[in-house]
Structure 1
Amino acid sequence: MNALKPSRSLAIMTFLHSFQPGGVERVALRLAGAWAEAGCEVVTVMGRRDGPLAAEASDAVRYLFAPRFPPAVAFESVWMVPYLTAAILRENPDVLFCAGNTYAIVAVLVRLLLGRRCPPIVCKISNSLDRKDFSPWMGALYRLWLRIQALHIQRFVGLAEPMRPEMIAALDLPPERVAIVEDPAIRQADIASGERTRAPGDGRLFLGVGRLNPQKDFGLLIRAFASFAGARDRLVILGEGPERGRLTELIQTLGVADRVELVGHVPDTSDWLRRADVFVLSSRYEGVPAVVIEALAAGTPIVATDCCVSMAELLDHGRLGDLTPPGDVEALAGAMQRILRWPRDVAAMRAQAARFTIERSGAAYLDLMAGVAGRAALPWTSAEQSPMTTRATEATAEA
């Protein structure tokens, strides 16, 4: 691979389909910006230019856009492969960062095409590998796919310590090929101070956030809300996606169209989280959901399905929020009403959220990638000494 460069100029390449909304994409864009601002050479290869997350793009990152070809949207992973392959040969990065599970197919295909010319790949596991929602035959194919990934990707990164045993087992890996870097879901500045802003009116405001797709199971949330909601209660769901039509029909069928609103994509959910009485995660599966970390940072009461190995630890085994089984309407409805009577430890919620910042985890990723790339140690030896953490600490002190 590359000749040794000055340690502050680690060359990182990552890739995304577009700037369309998604937790994986938002975190990847923010990480790329943080790495570039810390002195690394960061290139992000993009399949398309469209999407509101372009506002998250850092001027310190270089973006390479694939040629425009509208039909490629239907098979964007395949379309990404030849352009990313050419970019790697041209730019010769030290490491290729794969932002989440859904991008692993691109990373594997590029590795197969380039062989030893491919830089080492670091892949973030952004969703649970234990897919109980799959049929038996789909589950068998998925397990085979995970083993194929393990043959071609050098290092896998989980988002919280409870993910480690699941990753080692599902990918059939030795422990040294699995690392844990806590999910960099928020910035240090996103951790709220002071009291939340109460929504106007006498009713309760329940909030859901995420892409309108089967994984998020907003149909479960809507049914749970409809089973108990009073005349002044409201459910607001922030996000866009392919299930809007089906969810709109469900809202009409349940007779709650006057109390449930599908707002669409919102660039910054922090105001909604501060106003909400309860944040609800209804997902069938997750990795470490960034939106739960955002709710912790806001001090908003949380109800969540126990949809991944990390959820119980994230909510301190029920101390910071109520957990219910995935897919259980009655249990979710009960928790949504019960949580409002719970004592709320806002300081503990915000302390938990502080584990999951870009400043802290971004530096840990750099140390990990430097090691994978066979580079000399970076100028800092821990997240506390990194330029990212130093700037965040200075900003907090000034505030």
Structure 2
Amino acid sequence: MKILVILHDLPLGGTERVALRLTAAWARAGHQVTLLCGSATGAQAGLVSEVVELVECAPPIPRGLGSRLRLGRAVAEHLRRHPADVLFVPGNFHWSVCRSVAQGLRDNRPAIVAQVSSPIFKHGRKGLKQWAFEAGARRRLRDVDAMVTLSSQTVPETDRLLGRRIATAVPLPALDDTVHQADIASGKLIVAAGRLAPEKGYDIALKAFAKIADPEARLAFVGDGPLRAELEALADKLGVRDRVTFAGYAPDIGPWLDRARLLLLSSWHEGFGAVIVEALGRGRPVVATDCTPAVRDLLATPGRGRVAAPGDVDGLARALEAELAAAPPEPSALITTVEAYRITPVADAYLAVFEASQARHQTSVA
């Protein structure tokens, strides 16, 4: 199968990280995989597998006003010269490419499969904003042959949005195929991993942490971003700076999870929340806000963690205290809950969607 995957560029983002993992798996399985980038630059540029053909638009198309429209035209032109069986469009950010390719190539286009990477209904997006999002999504996705969601809960939402039953849930490939051997957690280190940005709710995390009575509790932020100085000042104001570590960016949070008692996810909203899968895959429970479908998919079963409402300082503090006071769970029991999120079964599931979409598209144009 000839598979074309498009990314605008290669920054530190979950959509890009997942796409790079999948392209490598498909290529190693024997498929001809091309990754077309508007600009092949960014922090993850060095992570493109050597078995994947990397093509940069000429001239490069950096992000900016109108850049996604130009990227869509470039993708259509690339497909005219280099036909593919399937075009995979990862994440909401790239949806407009689907329409550009369909308009530019019409019946000569490949099957188009797009991914839903962030919620159809996002916290804080209501009324006219939600209506505009839905109208724009329907316009951009009117020609797709299949949609892939990261949670079964998003399938009916996606089908209703587009007025067609074309969505399939495929787990997020957050884990490699090697099963991690973890020890029972010791100590009371809470790890929050992610960019220090407003949507992560780290000010809420700090305020909740300051309410924890246990003096042995520690909090580490593993990540960097524009709010670092502001969060450091807030930790000083709350009187917890001596128990809070700002560790900066880490390319692999695994060693931090191995030291942790639990993972804290305090976001207002997340696409799926791959870090939840990563934590469970290391045998660590999670305290999270209800910010992503992953919370309902993975944390509804007792023993895996606890959930609070986004922005609820007191509720998050109670959840943290309760988890710290409980006996640490057996790591192997948590690790087995995320077997479906390993790269090989996920890559195979995507290939099944591609094959069905290609057959459906060929039938429609015959």
User: TM-score scaled by structure 1?
Assistant: 0.82
Report the Cα offset of residue 294 of structure 1: 0.5
| Corresponding residue number in structure 1 for 2:344 | 359
Match of 1:130 among 117, 121, 126: 121
Aligned ranges 1:17-96 → 2 under 5 Å: 17-67=8-58, 72-75=62-65, 76-96=67-87
2:309 aligned partner: 325
Match of 1:217 among 179, 201, 209: 201
Distance in 2 separating the partners of 1:249 and 1:48: 37
Say if 1:241 and 1:11 are closer, same or farther in 2 by CA, change over 3 A. Answer: farther
Aligned with 2:76: secondary structure?
helix
Provide the secondary structure at the position in 2 that maps to 1:303: strand
Matching residue of 1:313: 297
Indicate how the Cα distance of structure 1 residues 281 and 83 shifts in structure 2: closer, same or farther if over 3 A, else same: same
Length, aligned pairs only: 359
Secondary structure of 1:355's counterpart equals helix
Question: Are the structure 2 counterparts of residues 134 and 33 from structure 1 closer, same or farther at C-alpha, using a change threshold of 3 Å?
Answer: same
Does the CA-based 8 Å contact 1:282-1:326 persist in structure 2? Answer: yes
Task: Indicate the SS of the match to 2:281.
Answer: helix
User: Hey, what's the Cα distance between the residues in 1 that align with 2:332 and 2:98?
Assistant: 40
* Structure 2 counterpart of 1:174: 164
Aligned position for 1:302 = 286
Instruction: Provide the alpha-carbon RMSD of the alignment.
Output: 2.5
Q: Aligned pair 1:195/2:183, yes or no? A: yes
SS in 2 for 1:52: coil
Question: 1:132 Cα shift?
Answer: 3.2
Q: Structure 1 residues 227 and 114, CA, compared in 2 at 3 Å: closer, same or farther?
A: farther
In structure 2, relative to structure 1, the CA distance for the partners of 1:132 and 1:197 (3 Å cut) is closer
Aligned partners of 1:229, 1:58: CA distance in 2, in Å?
47
**Structure 1 residue 38: deviation in Å?**
0.3
1:237 aligns to what SS in structure 2?
Answer: strand
Shift of 1:67: 4.1
Report the Cα offset of residue 44 of structure 1. Answer: 0.5
**Aligned CA distance change for structure 1 residues 312 and 260 (closer, same or farther; 3 Å):** same
Q: Which residue of 1 aligns with 2:139?
A: 148
Partner deviation per Cα, 1:25-80 (whole Å, 9 max, x = no partner)? 1111010000000000000012333333234321110001134668x333453453
The share of aligned pairs that are identical, in percent, is: 31
Question: Structure 2: any 5+ residue segments left out of the alignment?
Answer: 361-366
Which residue type is aligned with residue 92 of structure 1? P
Give the counterpart of 2:154 among 154, 163, 172: 163
2:182·2:283 contact (CA, 8 Å) conserved in 1? no
Q: Which amino acid aligns with 1:19?
A: L
Equivalent in the alignment of 1:107: 98
In 2 relative to 1, CA 255–113 (structure 1 residues): closer, same or farther, beyond 3 Å? farther
SS at match of 1:262: strand
| Pairs within 5 Å for 1:229-378 | 233-343=217-327, 344-374=329-359
Check conservation: 1:162, 1:309, Cα contact below 8 A: yes
Deviates more, 1:211-220 or 1:263-272: 211-220
Mapped to 2, the partners of 1:248 and 1:113 lie a distance apart of 50
- Give the deviation of 1:246 after TM superposition: 4.3
- TM-score w.r.t. structure 2 length? 0.89
